[in-house]
Amino acid sequence: MKALHFATTAAAMLLAASLSAAPLAAQASTWTIDSAHSGVGFQIKHLGVSTVRGSFSGVNGTVVWDDKNPASSHVDAVIDAKTVSTGQEKRDEHLKSPDFFDVDKYPTLKFHSTSVKHAGDGKLQIIGDLTLGGQTKPVTLDVDGPAAPQKGMGGKTVSGFSATGTLSRAAFNFGQKYAPPMLGDDVKFTIDLEVGK
């Protein structure tokens, strides 16, 4: 009788534990970045008088989002450096050269988040490590999102994020042959991600 009571009690405890853990497990979900609907834009001052703009189209990776506890969320993204485009073929080839991205040696840029937190009014702040040209440094992203999930094509659930930030070329030792004022030190960037699951 005691053995039966113990078994029944143990089973009840296991059931209660599983029920209490289920909502926590359901809070976090993994989303895949849709490269076809995502991209990175950047801008930099030229000779202090004009702004040159460009973009990357090859963005892949995952977002693990926990709506109840954003601090446990994280982002891992990879950008194909060979997709850099400014609308000028000669300039794009120069950007791919060892003077800048050195795409043969460093074919990708990588971002790995280290901190995610609410920043008020439907915004997030994401801090993470950016690897650019063999240098890894922290960057801060100010993020709008995530957008309210909705059904996309093929029955997938989709959402999205939009982020902005600024990095210092000097911090990454990037393109230092072209120091200010020829090219500004600050590179402003925007990231637009569509994610699905």
Delineate the domains of the chain, giving CATH numbers in brackets.
27-196 (2.40.128.110)
pLDDT of residue 115: 97
| Cβ neighbours of residue 175 closer than 8 Å, sequence gap 6 or more | 99, 100, 169, 183
Answer left, alpha or beta for residue 160, where phi above 0 means left and psi between -120 and 50 means alpha.
beta
Confidence check: pLDDT of 2 > 90? no
Are 43 and 53 spatial neighbours (Cβ–Cβ below 8 Å)? yes
pLDDT tens per residue across span 177-195: 999 999 999 999 999 999 9
CA angle 23, 115, 148 (to 5 degrees): 50
Note the pLDDT tens digit of each residue in 13-39.
333 333 333 333 447 999 999 999 999
Give the number of other CB atoms < 10 A from CB of residue 139: 18
Q: What is the pLDDT of residue 22?
A: 34
Residue 122's pLDDT is 80
Amino acid at 161: F
pLDDT of amino acid 158 = 97
pLDDT at 154: 83
- The three-class DSSP label of residue 145 is coil
pLDDT at 10 over 80: no
pLDDT tens by residue, 57-110: 999 999 999 989 999 999 999 999 999 999 999 999 999 999 999 999 999 999
**Which one, of 40, 62, 43, lies nearest residue 52 by Cα?**
43
Which residue type is seen at 53? R
The Cα 178–Cα 180 span in angstroms is 7
The predicted model scores a pTM of 0.83
